[in-house]
């Protein structure tokens, strides 16, 4: 008998997992409390941008292998395995992760399940959550139910969500019984046949792998950005430094790109939640370095605003500024905690006329900050600009040449917030181009 799968939560993680499980051949149902989302998904419409996922969703909704509902009764009685992919956002008071959605979804399932079932946590959670959920299940489960729990963190990156789910770097399973492990081995058989490393461990380790990975990535980015602060002050080339460091196989070149810093729905909130959780455990100093990582990251945004101010000779008010890229990274329409959007808003608050263009992010950004001017294309955004800021490295921007902008802009000034433009080419064309980690001596005034 083939396993029937449910995925609870139809956000980024949930929809990707559901569609990929259908692609692996399983019958899948996705459940969410938001009827509008369920309606769109049931019509095969993806409510966000993710390369390749729209096609998978459409294909499997059409084939009938993937469907969506708001009805927990149906899900609990139909599926054998329930993946929990609901959000764990930062709490409103800023202290730790908000676990309401995880707790509610596990409770909803536990009260309804009869017979044998496996609940698999995928959301990023504070360590200790699985043990706590076991006791929630114990309290709410029907006497006729035999529910096991496993923890199987998800490492997918936006922009590569389908690839990361279908061919992950590794699979991690935290569990306390052989049956759970066996069931997950069946579900992930294809990846395991392709020799994907499998780590079977306890709940705590499985939960920690995810937050440790994100803390490490965030640290790597802030590490190189801290050196950007040094080269901005004394000189040096941050990209060459990163390249030279990266040749050491123990360090590696990935995630050593200096820029406007990290953002998105994961890294910023996860490093804050990890600090909150370890403090709760009495380890007040253990993750203290992550506070520095966070601060270095946020200083990048300030730096770009100051740079813009200096390049405009302290005349931010009334200046025409074009912002290229507003999502937290390319190939995504996600503007959550986006450094680019934050910089655009800070410039606007300082009195600049800000014109934003992003290939996919305008709509989401406009929903958050309707007062910025959202341009339909790059040409409209840079029209008459006194300064252009490239803040998200979409391909469309990486391949820009000075001649593309020259007939449109008001002044030949550009900040390369991702160090993707060829500086000598732009300087040869008479542009003032300032990148990240680059020492800049304004003709008048100090930075």
Binding footprint of ligand UDX on the chain (CB under 6 A): 155-158, 214, 217, 221, 255-257, 259, 261-264, 266-267, 328-329
Is 266 designated active site?
yes
Dihedral over Cα of 47, 49, 50, 55: its sign:
positive
Output 287 or 319, the one with its CB closest to ligand UDX: 287
Closest approach, Cβ 355 to ligand UDX, in A, equals 22
Q: For residue 175, which phi and psi values (nearest 5 degrees)?
A: -155, 170
Catalytic residue (one of 75, 97, 266, 400): 266
- Cα separations in angstroms, 190 against 20, 23, 82, 184, 185: 12, 11, 19, 11, 9
Angle at Cα 203 formed by Cα 198 and Cα 209, nearest 5°?
60
Q: How many C-beta neighbours within 10 Å does residue 424 have?
A: 9
35-42 vs 53-63: helix crossing angle, rounded to 10: 80
Of residues 311, 51, 83, the one with CA closest to residue 187: 83
Distances (CA, A) of 400 to 129, 184, 393: 47, 46, 11
C-beta of 76 vs 266, nearer to ligand UDX: 266
Element (H, E) at 357: strand 353-357
Q: What's 118's DSSP letter? A: E
What is Dmax (Cα atoms) for the chain?
Answer: 78
Task: Say which residues have a Cβ less than 8 Å from residue 399's Cβ, sequence separation at least 6.
Answer: none
Using the minimum distance from each CB to ligand UDX, give the nearer residue, 225 or 320. Answer: 225
* Strand 320-324 relative to strand 387-390, pairing: parallel
* Active-site amino acid positions: 266
């Amino acid at each position: 008998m083939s396993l029937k799968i449910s995925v609870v939560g139809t956000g980024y993680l949930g929809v990707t997992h559901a569609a990929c499980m259908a692609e692996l051949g399983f019958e899948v149902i996705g459940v969410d409390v938001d009827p509008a989302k369920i309606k769109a998904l049931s019509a095969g419409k993806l409510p966000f941008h993710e390369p390749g996922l729209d096609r998978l969703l459409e294909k499997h909704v059409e084939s009938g292998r993937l469907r969506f509902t708001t009805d927990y009764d149906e899900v609990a009685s139909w599926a054998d395995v329930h993946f929990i992919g609901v959000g764990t956002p930062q709490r409103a008071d800023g202290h730790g992760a908000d676990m309401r959605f995880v707790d509610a979804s596990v409770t909803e399932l536990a009260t309804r399940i009869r017979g044998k079932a496996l609940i698999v946590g995928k959301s990023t959670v504070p360590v200790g959550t699985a043990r706590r959920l076991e006791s929630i299940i114990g309290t709410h489960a029907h006497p006729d139910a035999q529910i096991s729990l496993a923890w199987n963190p998800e490492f997918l990156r936006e922009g590569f969500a389908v690839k990361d789910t279908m061919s992950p770097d590794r699979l991690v399973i935290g569990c306390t019984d052989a049956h759970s492990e066996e069931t997950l081995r069946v579900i992930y058989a294809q990846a395991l046949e392709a020799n994907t490393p499998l780590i079977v461990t306890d709940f705590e380790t499985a939960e920690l792998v995810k937050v440790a990975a994100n803390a490490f990535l965030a640290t790597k980015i802030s590490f190189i950005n801290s050196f950007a602060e040094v080269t901005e002050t004394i000189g040096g080339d941050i990209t060459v430094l990163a390249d030279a460091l990266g040749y050491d196989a123990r360090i590696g070149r990935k995630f050593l790109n200096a820029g406007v810093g990290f953002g998105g729905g994961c890294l910023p909130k996860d490093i804050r939640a990890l600090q909150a959780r370890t403090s709760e455990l009495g380890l007040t100093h253990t993750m203290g370095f992550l506070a520095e990582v966070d601060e270095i990251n946020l200083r990048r945004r300030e730096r770009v605003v100051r740079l813009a101010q200096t390049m405009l000779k302290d005349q931010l008010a009334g200046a025409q500024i074009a912002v290229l890229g507003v999502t937290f990274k390319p190939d995504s329409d996600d503007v959550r905690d986006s450094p680019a959007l934050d910089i655009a808003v800070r410039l606007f608050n300082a009195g600049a006329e800000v014109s934003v263009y992003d290939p996919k992010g305008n709509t989401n950004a406009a929903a958050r900050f309707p007062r910025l001017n959202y341009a339909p294309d790059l040409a409209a955004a840079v029209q008459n600009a006194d300064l252009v800021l490239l803040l998200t490295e979409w391909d469309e921007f990486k391949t820009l040449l000075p001649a593309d902008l020259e007939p449109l802009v008001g002044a030949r000034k550009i900040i390369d917030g991702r160090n993707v433009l060829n500086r000598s080419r732009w300087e040869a064309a008479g542009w003032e181009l300032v990148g990240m980690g680059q020492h800049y001596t304004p003709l008048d005034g100090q930075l």
